Amino acid sequence: MNTSSATATLSPPGNTQAAVRRIVRLGQGHRSGPINRLMSPSDIGQLIKPFVFLDYGVVPYTGEAFAGIHPHSGIATLTLAIRGGVAYEDTTGKSGVLAPGGLEWMKAGGGVWHDGGVSAPGPLQFYQLWVALPASEENAAPESQYIAPQEVEQEGPARVLLGRLGSAASRIRAPLGINYLQVRLKNGEHWRYEPPAGHTVAWVSVYEGELQTPAIVPPETLAVFEESNAAIDFVAKGDTAFVLGSAIKHPHDLVTGYYSVHTSAPALERGEAEIRRIGNRLRAEGRLQKAIAL
């Protein structure tokens, strides 16, 4: 668990104290069907690593998996079900349905396969974040955690998905130095986030309403803040909901495969070898309808 602590303050509506940390990039992402990829390692992920992928979507219920069973290595994914539920299964042996407000943490480490679909009746509104793991964990044994909505601790308007804020801490066993929050503000409310020491990486994505910080951040965009340890001020324009990430910057280059992100070519090779091994087992068991070329 992340033991570093951030603080935040909530001021009455009408407080328009100027932001102290400016936005340096505002992106709309790349849409594929109902899913918008807001960052990837080939673009914004290089600037704000360990955060390397962020998907946002509203996906209807079809009765089929929307991702299909697929592998990862070297990273961890965190899926937040905002509205609707996620049916999940993974090769650590876990399966079930994630309720609205719940979290799925899949630490792929040295290699894992997982699947996900929209649970009835749908639709599913969600974020999925990929985090690059440190070198000490990128080829470790995989681990999955499923956190019920009521188990997510809250500090003021912020639910703590990863890391710590004030007295609230995430139950997820994530690497140190990462905070990830889900925040809801009423129209006109001002909220200041003061990141822990060393969290020079910070970004925000809005999914309801708009934020002023002091530039306007509209829905389904990703705003990246300048590298600094300074606080960030937010004012809600309408009732507003968003996710926010801050972290100590990942010190390694991003070495990527199709499903993997590692710190070196040898680490990537080990991860891809393991996911091939698991894939061969799944094929032998008849659990893969189509072979995935790796």
Indicate which CATH number applies to the domain containing 30: 2.60.120.10
Which pLDDT does position 264 carry in this prediction? Answer: 97
Which pLDDT does position 214 carry in this prediction? Answer: 87
Beta bridge partners of 8: 193
Which pLDDT does position 289 carry in this prediction? Answer: 58
Which pLDDT does position 68 carry in this prediction? Answer: 77
Average pLDDT rounded to a whole number, residues 58-65: 81
Q: Does residue 292 have a pLDDT over 60?
A: no
What letter would DSSP give residue 153?
Answer: -
Which pLDDT does position 32 carry in this prediction? Answer: 87
Q: How many domains is the chain partitioned into structurally?
A: 1
Residue numbers of the domain that contains 157: 7-284
Q: What are phi and psi of 117, to 5 degrees?
A: -145, 170
Q: For 149-159, how does the pLDDT look when each residue is reduced to its tens digit (9 = 90+)?
A: 999 999 999 99
- What average pLDDT does the chain have? 90
Q: Does residue 222 have a pLDDT over 80?
A: yes
Average pLDDT rounded to a whole number, residues 237-241: 97
Q: For 92-139, how does the pLDDT look when each residue is reduced to its tens digit (9 = 90+)?
A: 988 888 899 999 999 999 999 988 888 888 799 999 999 999 999 999
Q: Does residue 265 have a pLDDT over 90?
A: yes
- In contact, 213 and 183? CB cutoff 8 Å: no
Asked whether residue 292 is domain-assigned, the answer is no
Q: Would you state the structure tokens that stand for residue 220, as one six-digit string?
A: 């389904």
Asked whether residue 267 is domain-assigned, the answer is yes
Asked whether residue 80 is domain-assigned, the answer is yes
Asked whether residue 1 is domain-assigned, the answer is no
Which pLDDT does position 107 carry in this prediction? Answer: 96
- In contact, 101 and 226? CB cutoff 8 Å: no
Asked whether residue 166 is domain-assigned, the answer is yes
Average pLDDT rounded to a whole number, residues 194-209: 97
As to burial, measured by CB atoms within 10 angstroms (0-12 exposed, 13-18 middle, 19+ buried), residue 141 is exposed
Asked whether residue 294 is domain-assigned, the answer is no
Q: Does residue 11 have a pLDDT over 70?
A: no
pLDDT band at 285 (very low <50, low <70, confident <90, very high): confident
Asked whether residue 190 is domain-assigned, the answer is yes
Which pLDDT does position 14 carry in this prediction? Answer: 42
Q: Does residue 183 have a pLDDT over 90?
A: yes
The side-by-side arrangement of strands in the sheet containing 35-39 is 30-32, 35-39, 51-59, 124-132, 75-83, 103-107, 143-147
Asked whether residue 289 is domain-assigned, the answer is no
Q: Would you state the structure tokens that stand for residue 72, as one six-digit string?
A: 């990862």
User: How far is it, in rounded angstroms, from Cα 42 to Cα 36?
Assistant: 15
- Of 19 and 121, the one with more pLDDT: 121
Which pLDDT does position 8 carry in this prediction? Answer: 64
Q: Would you state the structure tokens that stand for residue 6, as one six-digit string?
A: 């951030």
* pLDDT over 90, % of the chain: 71
**HSE (CB half, 13 Å, CA atoms) of 146?**
15
Which pLDDT does position 184 carry in this prediction? Answer: 98
CB-CB neighbours of 265 under 10 Å? 11
Average pLDDT rounded to a whole number, residues 175-182: 97
User: How far is it, in rounded angstroms, from Cα 189 to Cα 182?
Assistant: 16
Please give the span between the terminal C-alpha atoms of the chain, in angstroms, as a whole number. Answer: 33
Q: If phi over 0 gives left and psi between -120 and 50 gives alpha, with beta otherwise, what is residue 7?
A: beta
Which pLDDT does position 275 carry in this prediction? Answer: 94
Q: Does residue 234 have a pLDDT over 70?
A: yes
Average pLDDT rounded to a whole number, residues 260-284: 95
